[in-house]
Amino acid sequence: MSHPFESLTPDLVLDAVESLGYLSDARVLALNSYENRVYQVGIEDEQPLIAKFYRPQRWSDAAIREEHAFALELADCEVPVVAPLVRDGESLFEHAGFRFALFPRRGGRAPEPGNLDQLYRLGGLLGRLHAVGASRPFEHREALKVQNFGHDSLATLLDGGFVPKSLLPAYESVARDLLARLDGLFAATPYRAIRIHGDCHPGNLLCRDDSFHIVDLDDCRMGPPVQDLWMMLAGDRQERLGQLAELMDGYQEFHDFEPRQLALIEGLRALRLIHYSAWLARRWDDPAFPPSFPWFGSERYWGEQILILREQRAALDEEPLRLF
């Protein structure tokens, strides 16, 4: 069976954009995106627009509209975010069976690893994001939990036969042991779940003209605020402690942080590792995935995953990062 995205041709992209009253110059550039399909579309006598076509059957219309409403709420509060364009009171559109949204084009570069000045500013940006995120909950978007990111992801990998048989016992053993540890960790670490970005890696916080802006809220959900912070840290423990101090100095100018959440960092890292493998497995019928991730399914990949998960299990025994 063909995949739905196979019918998403350049002509269809242009027709979708022009259905909203824009006049394109017929230039379409596919951007680097796998979960959805994203294109830069040239517009006559205006700046190009970014057209995002949502993966069918992933999010409900209500969940996508919550993503858009969150972005627009952030923009209204002067938090720098790339929010969808609104036409006649609507931000989610449909054309030829595809749901799509339009965004202004915003370029930039990712933060420099370990740059303390940037971390202070990023902390302030994320504090502002979370101050808005804490004001009300999502109603239609899932929360980040050990069950859906961990146990359900492992079930996808095992039930689908994605792990080579020669490595299956070792992978299943370390993954189940790790998830049992995470069940206990999250049960013992209370936190207030708020609306978060959800996929806050440095590539989604871009710098332009010495100011940062937030992009791609596609994975926003309810979850612990520290989920949006830990991917800003890199290096050894001492380096991460210094980076955390700068990040928190900026963050807590705008939003209070619960220090006990720091105990969740290595657990959240472990969930991201297992969830990433399951994400590849769930998307393997998409023709864009096999050529882009040819190593997935190889014994080398799964052997490396076993070692990484064992290291992550050991990291759970280390003392969590602390604020000083």
pLDDT at 3 over 90: no
Query: CA-to-CA distance for 324 and 319, rounded, in angstroms?
Result: 14
Nearest to 155 by CA among 128, 123, 179: 179
The percentage of the chain sitting over the pLDDT mark of 90, rounded to a whole number, equals 93
Beta-bridge partner residues of 29: 40
Mark out the alpha helices in the chain (DSSP H runs).
Answer: 10-18, 61-76, 116-133, 146, 152-159, 168-188, 237-251, 265-282, 289-292, 299-315
User: Which residues lie below 8 Å from residue 86, measured CB to CB, with a gap of 6+?
Assistant: 72
Name the CATH superfamily for 116-317. Transferase(Phosphotransferase) domain 1 (1.10.510.10)
Q: Which of 199, 218, 228, 286 is catalytic?
A: 199
For 83-113, what is each residue's pLDDT tens digit?
999 999 999 999 999 999 999 998 889 998 8
Q: In which residue are the tokens 């604020």 written?
A: 323
| Cα–Cα distance, 125 to 14 (Å, whole number) | 35
Residues 160-202 pLDDT 10s: 999 999 999 999 999 999 999 999 999 999 999 999 999 999 9
Mean pLDDT of 298-322: 97
Residue ranges for the binding site? Answer: 204, 216
Q: Is residue 120 pLDDT above 90, yes or no?
A: yes
Residues of the chain with CATH 1.10.510.10: 116-317
Residue in 323, 317, 231, 223 with CA at minimum distance from that of residue 269:
231
Average pLDDT over residues 220-232: 97
- Both ends of the chain: CA-CA distance in Å? 57
Q: Within 19-107, where are the H helices? A: 61-76
pLDDT at 324: 79
Three-state SS for 67?
Answer: helix
Whether 209 is a known active-site residue: answer no
Residue range(s) in the chain whose domain bears CATH number 3.30.200.20: 25-104
Look at 115 and 263; give whichever has higher pLDDT. 263
pTM for the predicted model, two decimal places: 0.94
pLDDT (0 to 100) of residue 299? 97
On average, the pLDDT of the chain sits at: 96
- In this prediction, residue 2 has a pLDDT band, given cuts at 50, 70 and 90, of low
The pLDDT of residue 260 is 96
Q: What is the pLDDT of residue 177?
A: 98
208 strand-pairing partners:
211
Q: Which of 216, 218, 228, 286 is labelled catalytic?
A: 216
Q: Is the pLDDT of residue 282 over 80?
A: yes
Give CA–CA dist 242/201, Å, rounded: 19
Q: What is the structure's pLDDT at 211? A: 87
CB 131 within 8 A of CB 254: yes
Question: CA-to-CA distance for 84 and 167, rounded, in angstroms?
Answer: 44
For residues 40-53, give the mean pLDDT: 96
Asked if 193 contacts 143 with a C-beta cutoff of 8 angstroms, the reply is yes
Q: Quote the tokens at residue 207.
A: 């710098």
Q: Is the pLDDT of residue 1 over 60?
A: no
For residue range 133-155, list pLDDT tens digits in order: 999 999 999 999 999 999 999 99
Percent of the chain exceeding pLDDT 70 equals 99
- 3-state DSSP call for residue 141? coil
The CATH code belonging to domain 25-104 is 3.30.200.20
Is 216 annotated in the active site? Answer: yes
- In the annotated binding site for Mg(2+), the residues are 204, 216
